[in-house]
């Protein structure tokens, strides 16, 4: 079934849509894990918070399509950062995870996170990462023996990490945010931001006046047609969930060129193996049948039947593997964002909640420069932006040459591409997605496609 495992027993969300114009101190747009957790932290600290979500449920964006690992082991990262940055990054994630584990023990289960490789080259990379763990004081294990039926050259593990059902976890914090006084709204899409007036307009023709705005919309929406677009790349991955008998103790990510992610989960009465991979930059997919290949691997490597659930999702990647959390532009202290989670947004969203709260309270936070959206590592960032800009430019032109009849994305006008597997119109430029009727299911676009004009209406 083409559906996320986490959405298979979704409980109904109860929150109204915005029915009148509102004035508030802090408005958060986006009811995924980053928006909801930030609303919870801010409301708990006494801020008056309004959160607006376009969909009919919270946590139904990318959050619902993740693997649900709550980990400090974000791929190979510590060996790529300076010692100082690595320590800040590790501590911020560790503290945020430990805090939720202490306060909400029912919302997760413990697991050891492993990076593994089946090649000699990968082994060398893992040994370098392990050396960096040593220097940073990150407790770890290195072993060749794993519970996986794979011939592993080395696995590098961090104990006492967590696994969650990301939808249930986010809904848990939505309830807590409400309890602390946050006003949460569903079925309300922000269609316009007037930054100078500190005003948002909704699809229901109401306005929201705010003092501070936090964009937790995954891809920052419309208003930010500036360099932010070039600072983000959209990467898609594919996942499957297959009924299994045995649960794994660890959660795994291979660092080999075609990376795979593995964990098990219990949903209701059943246990599932989650198995995924085949990441690619949106617009750069190959001819591989991704779901067919995952199914084949699950059946041959794990001797399991065909998956019960298959889904794909995309996340924002940054030039240095570090998210953008904080003030969007240093000259404007009314606009903040949390995005660019590099497929580790479950734990990084917890970090975001605490960092945004400190920034809004005016408290000095040691990680603010590390996560700042306006940080620059001039050479690396510029190269990333040039590469990204050139890719988007090429896709824009290619769309008009090869897909003349396809509907134009309402974000910046690139020609969309029909995705037969998901029955969606996908924009290869910035990753907006629309259902077959042209309604937005993923931004940055905020307006529906003009399906009629392009002759694609049903
Ligand atoms: C395949 C895959 C597996 C992953 N696995 C993991 C993992 O195991 N561990 C981990 O840490 N991370 C993982 N990630 C990353 C993680 O899922 C994301 O980084 C995280 O869920 C992002 O949360 P978010 O709240 O920023 O975005 P979302 O969950 O997408 O929420 C954004 C919300 O904003 C709303 N919105 C957008 N525009 C508007 C608008 N104009 N008006 C109103 N609402 C709007 C959307 O409807 C959406 O609900 C994975 C990512 C992928 C793609």
DSSP 285-333: --S--HHHHHHHHHHHHS-----SEEEEEEEEE-TTS--EEEEEETTEE
d(CA 84, CA 120): 29
- 251 CA: nearest ligand 1 atom: 8
- The answer, yes or no, to whether any atom of ligand 1 lies below 6 A from the CB of 438, is no
Same fold, 5-65+167-230+321-371 and 112-162+233-317: no
Query: Which atom of ligand 1 has the smallest separation from the CA of 346?
Result: 11
C-alpha 430 to ligand 1 mean position (Å)? 15
CA dist 371 and 368 (Å) reads: 5
Ligand 1 contact via 353 beta carbon (within 6 Å): no
Tell me, using a 6 A CB cutoff, whether residue 32 lines ligand 1: yes
Count Cβ neighbours within 10 Å for each residue of 177-192 and write b for 16 or more, e otherwise: bbebebbbbbbbbbbe
Distance 62 CA to ligand 1 centre (A): 3
Structure tokens at 138: 């990150």
Going by their DSSP bridges, the two strands 250-254 and 260-267 should be labelled as antiparallel
Q: What is the pTM of this model?
A: 0.93
Ligand 1 contacts CB of residue 263 (under 6 A): no
* 458 pLDDT more than 60: no
Rounded CA gap, 166 and 345, in Å? 11
Give the pLDDT of residue 454: 62
Confidence grade of residue 455 (pLDDT, cut at 50, 70, 90): low
**Ligand 1 pocket residue status of 38, Cβ below 6 Å:** no
Q: 112-162+233-317 in CATH: which number?
A: 3.30.9.10
- Answer whether residue 453 shows pLDDT above 70: no
Q: Which of 59, 27, 61, 71 is nearest to 337 (CA)?
A: 27
Does 451 have pLDDT greater than 70? yes
- On whether the CB atoms of residues 392 and 411 are closer than 8 A, the answer is no
What are the boundaries of each domain within the chain? 5-65+167-230+321-371, 112-162+233-317, 378-442
Residue 267 in contact with residue 245, Cβ under 8 Å?
Answer: no
Nearest to 90 by CA among 81, 100, 99: 81
Instruction: Read off the tokens for 334.
Output: 């009314």
Q: Measured in angstroms, how far is the CA atom of residue 285 from the centroid of ligand 1?
A: 21
Q: Establish whether residue 218 lines the binding site of ligand 1, counting it when its CB lies within 6 angstroms of any ligand atom.
A: yes
To test the ligand 1 pocket, which listed residue (17, 36, 67) has its Cβ within 8 A of the most ligand atoms?
A: 67
Question: Mean pLDDT, to the nearest integer, of 321-337?
Answer: 92
Domain 5-65+167-230+321-371 = CATH 3.20.20.10: no
Task: Return the residue whose CA atom lies nearest to atom 48 of ligand 1.
Answer: 61
Q: What is the pLDDT of residues 397-446, one digit of tens each?
A: 676 667 778 888 888 888 888 888 788 888 888 888 898 889 888 878 88
Asked whether the predicted pLDDT for residue 224 surpasses 90, the reply is no
């Amino acid at each position: 079934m083409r559906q996320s495992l986490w959405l298979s027993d979704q409980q109904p969300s109860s929150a109204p849509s915005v029915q009148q114009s509102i004035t508030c101190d802090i408005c958060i747009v986006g009811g995924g894990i980053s928006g909801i957790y930030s609303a919870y932290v801010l409301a708990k600290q006494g801020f008056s918070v309004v959160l607006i979500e376009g969909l009919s449920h919270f946590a139904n964006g990318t959050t619902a399509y993740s693997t649900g690992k709550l980990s400090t082991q974000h791929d190979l990262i510590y060996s790529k950062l300076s010692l100082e940055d690595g320590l800040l990054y590790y501590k911020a994630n560790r503290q945020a995870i430990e805090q939720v584990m202490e306060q909400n023990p029912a919302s997760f289960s413990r697991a050891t996170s492993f990076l593994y490789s089946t090649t000699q080259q990968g082994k060398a990379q893992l040994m370098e990462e392990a050396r960096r763990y040593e220097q940073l004081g990150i407790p770890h294990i290195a072993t060749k023996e794993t519970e996986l039926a794979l011939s592993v050259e080395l696995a590098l593990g961090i104990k006492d990490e967590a696994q969650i059902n990301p939808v249930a976890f986010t809904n848990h914090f939505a309830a807590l945010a409400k309890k602390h006084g946050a006003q949460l709204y569903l079925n309300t899409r922000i269609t316009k931001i007037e930054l100078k007036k500190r005003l948002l307009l909704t699809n229901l023709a109401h306005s929201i006046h705010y003092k501070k705005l936090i964009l937790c919309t995954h891809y920052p929406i419309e208003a930010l047609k500036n360099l932010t677009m070039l600072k983000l790349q959209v990467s898609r991955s594919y996942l499957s969930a297959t009924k299994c008998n045995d649960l794994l103790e660890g959660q795994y990510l291979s660092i080999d060129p075609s990376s795979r992610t593995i964990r098990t989960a219990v949903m209701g009465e059943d246990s599932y193996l989650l198995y995924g991979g085949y990441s690619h930059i949106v617009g750069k997919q190959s001819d591989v049948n991704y779901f067919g290949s995952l199914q084949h691997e699950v059946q041959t490597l794990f001797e399991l039947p065909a998956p019960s659930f298959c889904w794909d999702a995309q996340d924002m990647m940054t030039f240095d593997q570090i998210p953008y959390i904080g003030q969007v532009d240093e000259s404007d202290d009314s606009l903040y964002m949390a995005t660019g989670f590099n497929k580790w947004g479950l734990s990084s969203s917890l970090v975001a909640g605490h960092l945004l709260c400190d920034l809004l309270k005016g408290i000095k936070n040691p990680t603010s420069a590390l996560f700042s959206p306006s940080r620059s590592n001039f050479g690396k960032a510029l190269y990333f932006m040039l590469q990204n800009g050139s890719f988007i430019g090429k896709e824009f032109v290619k769309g008009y040459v090869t897909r003349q009849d396809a509907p134009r994305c309402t974000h910046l006008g690139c020609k969309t591409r029909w995705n037969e597997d998901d029955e969606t119109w996908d924009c290869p430029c910035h990753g907006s997605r629309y259902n077959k009727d042209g309604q937005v299911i993923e931004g940055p676009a905020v307006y529906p496609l003009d399906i009629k004009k392009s002759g694609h209406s049903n």
